[in-house]
């Protein structure tokens, strides 16, 4: 029964890509677990075992190059299988073996990777190449990745065919009707009414972004004494919601910045939430646009800003302009650093 149930559903690998870990380090342990599960399906056992041998070769050759790889090995490596020491070649061979095991188990291997923008370009290129090969062989292996807006450009730079190989749906603010439902329906399920003007106030303050809807919904629920929830309840809850975001969601990003980077973002914030020309930001800061090249590049690398079109700059995090104006109020930032 267990083998049958595992064969029936997809095998998922869930990974978050931190800035300080290599792709082999985060993917190898998860692939091991997936292959061990596939080895319990009789029809796929031989292919899964060969996949585990490929993993042993993969880790053995790359452990010195990427010294953060830590994974238990269950089989000895097979000579010539995923052991060339070249990430692109070896990862392709490894995913091919995992794909063959999944195909014979009549299942799908799905790799979920969050914060994909933090994967180094050469490692991202290796992953794209391996997935391209799996697609050519019609193997049931796929990746569902999530990342900041600059990910599309980064993947295209890593492999020029990436834009043809993947779909890049934009995940942003909810449509007004969906944002309203996200607030009204959970309250209704608990027997609580929320008045229309209260809903509109939440939508105005959150701009419809899902995480902010959750925060405002939570704090409004805690503040309200009774049903129906009113616009005053939302206003009373807003200070708490903003304080919570400032202390965690926004602050953790702000604290990673240098004083010069903070000043650059504060200048952006003065221009508003939208996309701004680099020249306009430089003018706001009273310097030539060329002098901000390294700063802008560092901020893109840190995931704070991105470039929707050439020469334009936008915040990656919604409402960050409002936070910057709160944390660096007044005009002193124009002449001093933080």
Summarised one tens digit per residue, pLDDT across range 199-223 is: 999 999 999 999 999 999 999 999 9
Percent of the chain with pLDDT over 70: 96
- pLDDT for position 172: 85
**Matching residue, tokens 């290796």:** 126
338 pLDDT band, cuts 50/70/90, is very low
- pLDDT for position 189: 95
Across the range 255-261, mean pLDDT stands at: 93
- Beta strand segments in 134-254, E: 141-145
pTM: 0.79
Q: Which segments of 246-335 does DSSP mark as H helices, in order?
A: 251-254, 259-270, 278-285, 293-301, 320-327
- pLDDT for position 274: 82
**In sequence order, which residues have a C-beta less than 8 Å from that of residue 104 and are 6 or more positions away?**
41, 43, 44, 47
The answer on pLDDT for 302 being more than 90 is no
CA gap 133, 96 in Å, rounded = 8
CATH class belonging to 256-334: mainly alpha
- pLDDT for position 2: 36
48 pLDDT band, cuts 50/70/90, is very high
CA gap 6, 126 in Å, rounded = 29
Q: For the chain, what is the radius of gyration of the CA atoms?
A: 24
CA gap 311, 309 in Å, rounded = 6
CA 27 to chain centroid: 16
The answer on pLDDT for 252 being more than 70 is yes
- pLDDT for position 9: 61
Tokens of 62: 């790359």
- pLDDT for position 265: 94
H or E element, residue 314 = strand 312-315
130: three-class secondary structure by DSSP: helix
Q: Where in the chain are all domains bearing CATH 1.10.10.10?
A: 256-334
Which of 58-62, 175-179, 220-224, 311-315 has the weakest average pLDDT? 311-315
Write out pLDDT tens, residues 108-165.
999 999 999 889 999 999 999 999 999 999 999 999 999 888 888 889 999 998 888 8
Q: Where in the chain are all domains bearing CATH 1.10.8.60?
A: 176-253
311: three-class secondary structure by DSSP: coil
Structural contact between residues 99 and 106, judged by C-beta atoms closer than 8 angstroms: no
CA gap 118, 131 in Å, rounded = 18
- Beta strand segments in 119-176, E: 141-145
Is the model more confident about 17 or about 247? 247
The answer on pLDDT for 20 being more than 80 is yes
Q: Which CATH number fits domain 176-253: 1.10.8.60, 1.10.3260.10, 2.30.30.60, 1.10.10.1100?
A: 1.10.8.60
Percent of the chain with pLDDT over 90: 70
Q: What does the H/E/C string look like for 25-94?
A: HHHHHHHHHHHHHHCCCHHHHHHHHHHHHHHHHHHHHHCCCCCCCCCCCCCCCCCCCCCCCCHHHHHHHH
- pLDDT for position 7: 41
Name the average pLDDT for the chain: 90
336 pLDDT band, cuts 50/70/90, is low
- pLDDT for position 4: 38
Write out pLDDT tens, residues 226-241.
999 999 999 999 999 9
334 pLDDT band, cuts 50/70/90, is confident
Write out pLDDT tens, residues 58-80.
999 998 888 888 888 899 999 99
The answer on pLDDT for 8 being more than 60 is no
């Amino acid at each position: 029964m267990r083998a049958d149930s595992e064969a029936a559903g997809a095998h998922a690998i869930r990974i978050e890509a931190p800035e300080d870990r290599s792709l082999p380090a985060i993917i190898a342990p998860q692939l091991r677990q997936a292959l061990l599960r596939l080895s319990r399906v009789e029809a796929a056992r031989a292919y899964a075992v060969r996949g585990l041998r490929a993993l042993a070769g993969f880790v053995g050759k790359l452990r010195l190059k990427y010294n953060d790889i830590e994974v238990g090995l269950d089989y000895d490596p097979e000579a010539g299988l995923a052991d060339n020491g070249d990430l692109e070649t070896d990862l392709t061979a490894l995913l091919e073996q995992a794909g063959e095991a999944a195909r014979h188990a009549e299942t799908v291997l799905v790799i979920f990777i969050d914060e994909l923008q933090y994967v180094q370009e050469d490692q991202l290129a290796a992953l794209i190449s391996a997935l391209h090969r799996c697609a050519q062989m019609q193997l049931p292996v796929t990746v569902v990745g999530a990342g900041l807006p600059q990910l599309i450009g980064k993947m295209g730079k890593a492999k020029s065919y990436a834009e043809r190989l993947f779909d890049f749906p934009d995940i942003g603010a909810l449509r007004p009707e969906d944002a309203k439902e996200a607030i009204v329906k959970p309250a209704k399920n608990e027997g609580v009414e929320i008045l229309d003007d209260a809903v509109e106030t939440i939508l105005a303050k959150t701009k419809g972004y899902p995480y902010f809807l959750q925060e405002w919904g939570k704090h409004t629920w805690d503040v309200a004494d009774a049903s129906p929830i009113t616009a005053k309840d939302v206003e009373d809850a807003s200070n708490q919601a903003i304080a919570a975001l400032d202390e965690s969601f926004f602050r953790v990003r702000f604290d990673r910045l240098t004083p010069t980077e903070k000043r650059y973002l504060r200048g952006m914030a003065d221009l508003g939430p939208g996309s701004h020309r680099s020249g306009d930001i430089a003018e706001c800061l009273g310097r030539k646009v060329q002098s901000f090249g390294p700063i802008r590049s560092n901020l893109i690398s840190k995931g704070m800003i991105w470039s929707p079109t050439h020469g334009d700059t936008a915040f990656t995090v919604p409402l960050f302009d409002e936070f910057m104006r709160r944390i660096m109020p007044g005009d002193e930032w124009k002449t001093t650093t933080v």
